[in-house]
Amino acid sequence: MTVLHSAPATAMDKVISIVFASLIAASPFAALAETFERVELDKDRTSVQYAGPIKSITKALEGYNWLGQSADMGGGVFFKPYVNPKFGKNDTETGGAIMVTATFYLYDKPVKEALMIARQSQISGFVEFYGYESRELQLHIRMVDDDTFQAFSSDDQYRNPVNLMTYKKVEKFNKSNYKDQLESAHESGGFF
């Protein structure tokens, strides 16, 4: 019986093994490794003060369907430009506001349309969009690439990267499977 002995591992083989093992161990946590910073800004800041980055993001968002990528998100948002007739008039509440209209979808059905004001977010690197009629409606957005943006739903969520949502550009939103199930239950007499 012949016993084969493997050649002793070289120093280079050991280094490669350690690096490879480190990459495998770190990969699931890579998304959670990013940290975000909060900057203190004037609470009455306007869009005009940060018009460059804001216009860059609004132009990238407008006219596209953006689908949420987490398993529990069944919809997305569509942004369209809003021409602010009071823009540049400093004596009005919205005189310094760059605005968009956001239509929120649950699957392929619109559920809410909101006029939103854009301004610099207190989360570094993000632009804040908040509802004109309801400041609680917020999205703090940064573009990842032409087809992807990431967002927090409030400026205090930056501490926990798990709260970071990802949206991808899509041709159309998905249809809900639940409607078909409800219709078939109704047709079969499952509902009275």
Model confidence pLDDT, tens digit, residues 38-49:
999 988 888 888
Mean pLDDT of the chain: 79
Percent of the chain with pLDDT over 90: 49
Please report the pLDDT score of residue 8 as a whole number. 53
**CA-to-CA distance for 36 and 30, rounded, in angstroms?**
14
Average pLDDT score over residue span 160-189: 74
Domain ranges of the chain: 41-175
Give long-range contacts, CB 8 A cutoff, 24+ apart: 28-32.
31/161, 32/161, 32/162
Backbone dihedral region for residue 92 (phi beyond 0: left; psi -120 to 50: alpha; all else: beta) = beta
**CA-to-CA distance for 53 and 127, rounded, in angstroms?**
8
CB neighbour burial string for 16-55, b if at least 16 within 10 angstroms, e if fewer: eeeeeeeeeeeeeeeeeeeebeeeeeeeeebbeebeebbe
Average pLDDT score over residue span 49-74: 90
156 vs 5, higher pLDDT: 156
pLDDT digits (tens, 9 = 90+) for 27-39: 334 445 578 999 9
Residue 1 confidence (pLDDT) above 70: no
pTM metric for this prediction: 0.73
Per CATH, domain 41-175 is 3.30.200.20: no
pLDDT digits (tens, 9 = 90+) for 103-153: 999 999 999 999 999 999 999 999 999 999 998 999 999 999 999 999 999
